[in-house]
Every structure is written in C-alpha cells, then in structure tokens.
Structure 1
Amino acid sequence: MRFDNSGLEAFKVDLNRLDEVMEQNGMVRAGQWDYERATYDHKFQIKEGTYYLRIPSYALEGDVGAHDAVLQLMTPILGKHYYPHGVEYGEDEYFPSHLVKQCNQMLEKIKKDVEVFAE
C-alpha cells in the first residue's frame, strides 16, 4: 500500500538529521542501506500478522556509508510479511484500518519533524 499523499516526497534532508528524526519516531535504518539508498522501517506485529511501514530514500549527493549524504525521501509504503517469502505491498493485500490510521499518524508526525531540517 502506498501513502501517496504523505507529502514526504517533497523533502531533501541531511542523512544524520534524518536518522535522528526517524529514530525518535520509531523508524529504524539498521542494515537497510547501501551507498546510494536508505530505507527506514517500522515493524508492526499485530493479531492480523506482521507488517512493515517503509520510507525509502536515495542520495542526491554524498555517500550514505560515510554518513555524509543528502537524501531525497520517497513515497512511504506498507507491506505485509509472509514467512519465508518476504514482504508484499500489492493492492490485493489486506491492511487493517487501525493499522493504516496509525501509519498515517506516524507519517504526519515524521513530516512535521522533517520540515524543520529539510532543504
């Protein structure tokens, strides 16, 4: 599921500032990066299954590995995890309304926090 109206796609943010904002909002980058991209995740384990809210980004300049990059945020997505196959994001998936509501609230908070540091 895509959150096309989140407004996050408008932001370009320094990697170190973005890491701080995302961590404060329960989003983890961990090993989800390479030198040109980074993905921030929040894992939900609820009775309906395991879901991931993901906010992908890519480097406009600099190097993610060197902690010296400016990242362009991309459209957030919500996916359901199926063991052992991975995460599915398709429109055919069932996403509980309470989960979608919680994701929208998280994204709105992240947007407000990122606005302060965005270029």
Structure 2
Amino acid sequence: MKFGNTGLDKLKADLSRLDEVMLEHGLVREGQWDYERVTYDRKFELKEGVFYLRVQGYAVEGDVGAHKAVIQLLTPLLGKHYYPHGIEYGEGESFPKTLVSQCEKILTDVKAEIEKFAN
C-alpha cells in the first residue's frame, strides 16, 4: 500500500538528521542501504500478521556509506510479510484500519520533524 499524500516524497534531507528523526519514530535503517539508497523500516506484529512501514530514499548529493549525503525521500509503503517469500505491497493486500491510521500518524509526525531542516 502506498501512502501517496504524505508529502514526504517532496522532501530532501541530510542523512544524519534523517537517521535521528526516523529512529525517534521507530523507523530503523540498520544495514538496509547501499552507497546511493536508504530504507527505513518499522515492524508491526499483530494478530493479523507481520507488517512493515517502509520509507525509502536515494542520495541526490554525497555518499550514504560516508554518512554524508542529502537524501530524496520516496513515497512511503506498508507491506505484509509472508514467510518465506518476503513483503508484499500489492493493491490486493488488506491492512487493518488501526494499523493504517497509526502509520499515517507516524508519517505525519516524521514529515513535521523533517520539514524543520529539509532542503
């Protein structure tokens, strides 16, 4: 599921500040990066299954590996994990309404924080 109206996809931000804000909201980057891209995930374990809120971005300046980059954020996603195949984001997936609302709130809060220092 895409969260198309968050406005996050219009923001560019410094990687180190972005890492701090995302972590404050439970979105973890860990080893999910290469020299040009980053992925932040937050895991939700519910009775309906395991879900991931994902925010991705790519470097428009600098190098992610050197921790000096400006990241262009992309449209956030919500996916459901299926063992052992992975995460599905398709339109055919159903997501609990409370989870969708919680994710929308997280994304709104993240955007408000990032806007304070975004390029």
TM over 0.5: yes
For structure 1, the residue ranges without an aligned partner over 5 or more in a row are: none
Structural mapping, 1:13-28, within 5 Å: 13-28=13-28
CA distance in structure 2 between the aligned counterparts of 1:60 and 1:19, rounded to whole angstroms: 16
CA distance in structure 2 between the aligned counterparts of 1:46 and 1:91, rounded to whole angstroms: 20
Q: CA deviation at 1:10?
A: 1.1
Q: Match for 1:109: what amino acid?
A: D
Provide the secondary structure at the position in 1 that maps to 2:2. coil
**Correspondence for 1:41:** 41
CA distance in structure 2 between the aligned counterparts of 1:61 and 1:108, rounded to whole angstroms: 25
CA distance in structure 2 between the aligned counterparts of 1:13 and 1:103, rounded to whole angstroms: 21
CA distance in structure 1 between the aligned counterparts of 2:21 and 2:8, rounded to whole angstroms: 13
Percent identity of equivalent pairs: 63
CA distance in structure 1 between the aligned counterparts of 2:102 and 2:79, rounded to whole angstroms: 14
CA RMSD of aligned residues (A): 0.4
TM-score by length of 2: 0.99
Provide the secondary structure at the position in 1 that maps to 2:101. helix
Q: Match for 1:74: what amino acid?
A: L
Q: Match for 1:107: what amino acid?
A: L
**Correspondence for 1:74:** 74
**Correspondence for 1:11:** 11
For structure 2, the residue ranges without an aligned partner over 5 or more in a row are: none
